[in-house]
């Protein structure tokens, strides 16, 4: 493939990547402004909250904790750096950075398509069409606005493909620079989401193919250099895990759990179904679920108790083993699941785990106005195969690279979940192929007319691609998972103190799936925010009966009885029930301790708080309030004052005022 020759654009401004960067950035800036009113904008839940908590731990100097990494580390480091620079405005700043990179991604797509299609009008048209697809691709714009690792994974992987294509047309000395750049982007992508792992050696094989021929040793050198940087990243992660966690592990230990739930019989293959509402301190219950089920297997004697120095590796291996056993028991069913995943990957339906994108479109006029969807891009990408014969040999090789990368990446994604945000690395190669194929077709038709086998083949492939994207295969388009998104919105609205919206979203979740326990719990939570204590108590009692293993509902009943109705004696059994259901749900212990202080049982309160004292620097407000009240009751004014100051410093003056009010209920005053 000959290098691209710069010159004036035959399409005017449309043929300049700078124009598309500007348009893409304006579109994204407009969406950023319009999204600020969303209840999800400043409230982090699940994966977003987990990442934010990890980043705060990094800023406190705690690192990633004293265990092997549960998730890839890079995105949390990026979040921590953003927090350090911008403070409380970090969630604005990080979204802005991601949108700027989204506009850069449009330029990368423009350049790859231009180099694939050829010089002159054809290349400029291919670049412009690709840039238009990426600029207006609404799910991609939405992903850039989320505080999860997926967009950075998309960006690094897209930059990797761009560097590989750029290197194909460069002279030997310059090509090595692009190989180094590709290796760097591969390392960054791997440190963000290691799903890319099986793709990397295959790309290296492609780069080194034919190295045994005379004069082609340089290819082997390129392949080695390309792999060196991601291998170095893997080595650093393994060294960190061995040093901090006592286990030499290269991959995050959540992999086995996700692999099982993505491939076991009866699983959707597209998203992870959570068995209970999240109450983990980090916001995401996946880690706890993985450990709980492994502990249950050890208790049953199904698996021996592993040594402390290899426990998390054993957990990961056990989950992988369960998956392999399930697949081997019915390989035909697993192959059917993989076939479904292949169609899910190209479907127009966007499900971000268990969060339905259709709800976001309904709530955002801006997203409804953006026409780009995967079902718009994929049919044209598939049809590009009909135009391959019109490319030069070098450009056909570039097209093979783009297609090969897309297929390999799709396979790596398909081993896990094929939800909308997981498949996003396919958007850039799909847009490049779509834009390139359409540009070649347009000039071919202009020169030879609409007749001919190539045009017929192109049209047939478009129809096949449309059927794959828009058909209701295995019910993917008719499946209703909208209630999950309304649940998330209700919870976020409650924490944002927008209680009317929280109640509305909870009711909409119930309307989508009547009787779902989480919706009832969130309706009760919203009712509490609105001051409807009777409605809240009724809802929490209904949830407590419907979810006998969930400690949240009984604790909330106790909170209302204790803090709102002043009935400490009636509240205490509900806190104890929550602890019986899950002894690790320490929030119930802290409330129970305050109830015992109200009842004059100082020794009982001290025993309940003992495991959490002294409080950590980032201790929850409830623990600090109860610990201060206990210290004040015991006459330790200095300790109570120090805890009150810590409470005010970490949770604000409102929390301090709430402590003063609670102390007055106990007949105490500590200053």
Which region among 108-117, 343-352, 504-513 has the lowest average model confidence (pLDDT)?
A: 343-352
Instruction: Quickly state the pLDDT bin for 220 (edges 50, 70, 90).
Output: confident
Task: Give the mean model confidence (pLDDT) for residues 78-99.
Answer: 96
pLDDT in tens, 542-592: 999 888 888 889 999 999 999 999 999 999 999 999 999 988 889 999 999
Predicted confidence band at 523 (pLDDT cuts at 50, 70, 90)? very high
222 sits in the region (left: phi over 0; alpha: psi -120 to 50; else beta) called alpha
pLDDT score of 274: 58
Separation between Cα atoms, residue 289 and residue 283, nearest integer Å: 13
Burial state string for 614-626 with b = 16 or more CB within 10 A and e = fewer than 16: ebeeebbbbbbbb
Q: Please say if the pLDDT value at position 481 is more than 90.
A: no
**How confident is residue 484, by pLDDT bands cut at 50, 70 and 90?**
confident
Residue 657 lies in a domain: no
* Per-residue model confidence (pLDDT) at position 584: 82
Query: Model's pTM, two decimal places?
Result: 0.89
Range of the domain at 458: 12-251+344-475
pLDDT-based confidence at 112, cuts 50/70/90? very high
Residue 382 lies in a domain: yes
Q: Does residue 201 lie in a domain region? A: yes
Q: Average pLDDT, whole number, for the chain?
A: 89
For the ranges 249-263, 283-297, 627-641, which has the lowest average pLDDT?
A: 283-297
Residue 85 CB burial class (10 angstroms; 0-12, 13-18, ≥19): exposed
Residues 503 and 271: their CA atoms lie apart, in Å, by 26
Find out whether 509 and 522 touch, Cβ atoms under 8 Å: yes
CA 139 → CA 22, 59, 145, 362, distances in Å?
19, 32, 10, 13
**Calpha distance 309→320 (Å, rounded):** 19
Q: What is the pLDDT of residue 281?
A: 53
Ramachandran assignment for 651, one of left (phi > 0), alpha (psi -120 to 50 degrees), beta (any other)? alpha
Is the pLDDT assigned to residue 213 strictly greater than 60? no
Q: Say whether pLDDT at 612 is over 80.
A: yes
pLDDT at 443: 87
pLDDT over 90 at 478, yes or no: no
pLDDT tens column, 142-172 = 999 999 999 999 999 999 999 999 988 777 7
CB atoms within 10 A of CB 292: 14
- pLDDT at 529 (0 to 100): 94
pLDDT at 352: 72
Number of domains forming the structure of the chain = 1
Highest mean pLDDT among 23-27, 269-273, 369-373, 637-641: 23-27
Query: What's residue 54's pLDDT?
Result: 92
Average pLDDT on 263-270 reads: 82
Q: Which residue has the higher pLDDT, 30 or 548?
A: 30
Burial label, 211 (beta-carbon count in 10 A; 0-12, 13-18, 19+): middle
Residue 670 in this model has a pLDDT that exceeds 70:
no
Is residue 263 in a domain?
Answer: no
Q: What is the pLDDT of residues 272-287, one digit of tens each?
A: 765 554 555 555 678 8
Q: How confident is the model at residue 270 (pLDDT cuts 50, 70, 90)?
A: confident
Residue 571 in domain: no
Q: Does 34 fall in a domain? A: yes
CA atoms within 13 A on the CB side of 79: 25
| 418 assigned to some structural domain | yes
Work out the percent of the chain whose per-residue pLDDT is above 70: 95
pLDDT per residue over 176-186, tens digit each?
A: 899 999 999 99
Helix (H, G, I), strand (E, B) or coil at 231: helix
Confidence tier at 245 by pLDDT (50, 70, 90):
confident
Give domain status of residue 510, yes or no. Answer: no
pLDDT digits (tens, 9 = 90+) for 383-427: 999 998 888 888 888 899 999 999 999 999 999 888 878 899 999
75-79, 287-291, 625-629: segment of lowest average pLDDT: 287-291
Q: Which of 5-9, 288-292, 378-382, 546-550 has the lowest mean pLDDT?
A: 5-9
120: left (phi over 0), alpha (psi -120 to 50) or beta: left
Check whether 31 has a pLDDT greater than 70: yes
């Amino acid at each position: 493939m000959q290098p691209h020759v710069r010159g004036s654009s035959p399409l005017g401004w449309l043929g300049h990547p700078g124009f598309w960067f500007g348009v893409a950035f304006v579109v994204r800036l407009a969406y950023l402004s319009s999204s600020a009113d969303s209840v999800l904008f400043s409230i982090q839940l699940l994966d977003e909250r987990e990442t934010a908590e990890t980043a705060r731990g990094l800023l406190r100097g705690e690192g990633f904790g004293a265990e092997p990494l549960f998730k890839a580390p890079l995105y949390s480091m990026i979040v921590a750096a953003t927090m350090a620079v911008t403070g409380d405005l970090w969630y604005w700043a990080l979204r802005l950075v991601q949108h700027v990179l989204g506009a850069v991604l449009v330029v990368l797509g423009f350049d790859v398509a231009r180099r694939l299609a050829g010089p002159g009008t054809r290349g400029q048209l291919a670049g412009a069409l690709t840039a238009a697809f990426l600029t207006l691709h609404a799910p991609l714009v939405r992903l850039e606005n989320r505080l999860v690792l997926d967009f950075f994974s998309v960006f690094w992987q897209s930059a990797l493909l761009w560097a590989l294509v750029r290197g194909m047309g460069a002279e030997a000395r310059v090509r090595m620079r692009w190989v180094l750049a590709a290796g760097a982007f591969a390392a960054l992508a791997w440190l963000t989401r290691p799903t890319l792992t099986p793709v990397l050696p295959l790309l290296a094989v492609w780069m080194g193919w034919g190295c045994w021929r005379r004069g082609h040793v340089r290819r082997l050198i390129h392949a080695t250099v390309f792999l060196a940087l991601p291998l170095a990243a893997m080595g650093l992660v393994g060294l960190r895990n061995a040093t901090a966690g006592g286990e030499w592990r290269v991959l995050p230990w959540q992999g086995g759990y996700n692999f099982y739930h993505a491939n076991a019989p009866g699983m959707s293959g597209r998203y992870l179904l959570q068995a209970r509402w999240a109450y983990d301190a980090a916001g995401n219950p996946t880690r706890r679920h993985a450990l709980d089920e492994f502990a249950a297997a050890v208790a049953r004697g199904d698996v021996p108790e592993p040594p402390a120095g290899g426990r998390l590796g054993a957990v990961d291996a056990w989950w992988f083993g369960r998956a392999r056993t399930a697949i081997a028991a019915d390989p035909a069913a697993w192959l059917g699941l993989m076939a479904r995943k292949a169609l899910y990957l190209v479907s127009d339906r966007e499900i971000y785990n268990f969060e339905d994108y259709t709800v976001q479109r309904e709530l955002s006029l801006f997203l409804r106005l953006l026409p780009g969807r995967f079902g718009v891009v994929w049919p044209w990408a598939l049809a590009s195969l009909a135009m391959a014969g019109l490319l030069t040999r070098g450009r056909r090789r570039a097209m093979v690279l783009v297609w090969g990368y897309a297929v390999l990446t799709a396979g790596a994604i398909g081993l896990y979940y094929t939800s909308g945000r997981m498949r996003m690395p396919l958007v850039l190669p799909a847009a490049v192929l779509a834009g390139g194929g359409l540009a070649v077709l347009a000039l071919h038709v202009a020169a030879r007319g609409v007749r001919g086998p190539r045009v017929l083949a192109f049209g047939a492939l478009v129809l096949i691609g449309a059927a794959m994207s828009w058909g209701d295969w295995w019910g993917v388009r008719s499946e209703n998972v909208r209630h999950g998104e309304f649940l998330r919105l209700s919870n976020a609205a409650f924490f944002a103190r927008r209680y009317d919206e929280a109640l509305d979203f909870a009711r909409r979740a119930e309307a989508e799936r009547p009787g779902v326990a989480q919706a009832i719990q969130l309706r009760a939570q919203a009712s509490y925010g609105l001051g409807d204590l009777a409605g809240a108590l009724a809802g929490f009692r209904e949830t407590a009966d419907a979810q006998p293993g969930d400690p949240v509902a009984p604790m909330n009943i106790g909170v209302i009885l204790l803090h709102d109705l002043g009935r400490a004696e009636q509240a205490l059994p509900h806190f104890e029930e929550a602890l019986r259901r899950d002894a690790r749900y320490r929030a119930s212990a802290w409330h129970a301790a305050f109830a015992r202080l109200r009842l004059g049982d100082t020794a009982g309160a001290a025993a309940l708080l003992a495991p959490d004292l002294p409080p950590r620097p980032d201790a929850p407000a409830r623990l600090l309030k109860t610990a201060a009240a206990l210290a004040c009751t015991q006459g330790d004014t200095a300790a109570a004052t120090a805890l009150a100051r810590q409470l005010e410093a970490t949770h604000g003056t409102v929390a301090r005022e709430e402590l003063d009010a609670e102390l007055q209920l106990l007949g105490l005053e500590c200053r």
